[in-house]
Amino acid sequence: MSSVPAVTSPRLDVEAVRRDFPILSRVTDSGRPLVYLDSGATAQKPNCVIDKLAEVFREYNSNVHRGVHALGDRVTGAMEGSREGIRRMLNAPEVEEVIFTGGCTLAINTVAHGWGRKFLQAGDEIVLTEMEHHANLVPWQMVAREKGAKIRFIPQTSDGRLDLDQLDSVLNSRTRLVAVTGMSNVLGTINPVGTIAARVKQYGAVVLVDAAQSVPHGSVDVQGLGIDFLAFSGHKLYGPTGIGVLWGRRALLEAMDPFLGGGNMISRVWGDRFECGAIPAKFEAGTPPIAEAIGLGTAVEYIESLGWDAIAAWEHQLTSHAHARLGQIEGLRIMGPGIEHRGSIVTFTVDGLQATDLATVLDTRGIAVRAGHHCTMPLHDRLGITASTRASLAFYNTPGEIDLLCEGIEHARKLLMRKRRS
């Protein structure tokens, strides 16, 4: 995804889009309309995805790749059609390189345990960033501890970007893998993945991208980026929960070990051994999340019908508006870089207010935001705070909702400060 959309990007009909998401017309328990600003945790689902899930269960619920009956054929075809749609979205060379998993976390763990445990050795180095979600940190800590490998971190600039001037001081002949987020789930930083990958390849290392936050906001070209693995979750891409995707280069997927064992991932089993099946079955042990995979394919079709450029342009406008309005609030500090280097995530602290208290007051006004460490404890430690408040925007949000957020923060400041003085 590019950091700044072209000014010629097509226009998004936001009011029409909002009608596609039934939950957005909901009135909350407070009697106010829902203002949903937590899409970075999970995005809402359009009618077409909701209807597709119901269609699968009503009309052709069956297991895949097994039965020869009509229901089995239809559901298998639908799931494999979704796989092809995701291949096109990623510009992956081969559809077999697209692996369905239970989520982004499981996708990263599949690489950590299937590739890392097989190929990492004592003294090897894994390079990460301090802005990584725990899902792209803890699995590497587990493997590093087992294999005797070392973890190093790419330094950050004061405004929350990766300091590429120091990248070559971190990379060396012992570097085996670099795992980096495409977009920080706290700072909103859009990392220059292609530039990083080109530098990493000079050292012969493998590159994995945690794209959970970046995939929903712009088109991705895995071949153009020059990366080796990419992982993302379906529920942040307006699809169902319980479904994720791992893309990997064929040669790497074929060389690594399976992470899970059981049905469907084998070609032959004897009493004392087994042979793996071909990819993608090799990494899809057991019954997969079938309806969820089909629903994810429908979500991809829906997003592509809106147009990636139109989505990126509108979200950039929203982020600009949020920066301008939030910046006017006394004592509020926005974390991360300027809007030219960030996606549609705005995380902040407010002097004198606890993040959880602020989010609770906002909830009484129908405004849903995230409060806490956002599964990035090392990043919060580096910033010298324990928690923050996050508004994560999507293409179905409006400037008016951001204005309501700002009014809610001002209300919370006055309310909580008054309680503190009494």
48: left (phi over 0), alpha (psi -120 to 50) or beta: alpha
CA 65 to CA 266: how far, in whole Å? 13
The b-or-e profile of 67-90 (16+ CB within 10 A means b, else e) is eeeeebebbbebbbebbebbbebb
Burial of 176 (0-12, 13-18, 19+ CB in 10 A): buried
Report DSSP state, residue 60. Answer: -
Tell me if 37 sits within 8 A of 369, measured CB to CB: yes
Tell me if 85 sits within 8 A of 301, measured CB to CB: yes
Q: Please give the distance of CA 105 from its chain centroid, rounded to a whole number.
A: 10
Which member of 48, 276, 375, 406 is catalytic? 375
Tell me if 167 sits within 8 A of 178, measured CB to CB: no
CA 197 to CA 182: how far, in whole Å? 12
Range list of β-strands (E), 223-360: 229-233, 244-248, 266-269, 274-276, 332-335, 345-350
The b-or-e profile of 186-212 (16+ CB within 10 A means b, else e) is bbbbbbbbeebbebbeebebbbbbbbb
Return all residues near 99 (Cβ < 8 A) that are at least 6 apart. 107, 110, 245, 246, 247, 248, 253, 279, 280, 283, 284
Verify whether residue 104 is a known catalytic residue. Answer: no
CA 171 to CA 126: how far, in whole Å? 9
Tell me if 417 sits within 8 A of 352, measured CB to CB: yes
> Which tokens hold the place of 353?
């207010």
Q: Helix 399-421 vs helix 355-363: angle between axes, to the nearest 10 degrees?
A: 120
Q: Which residues are known catalytic residues? A: 375
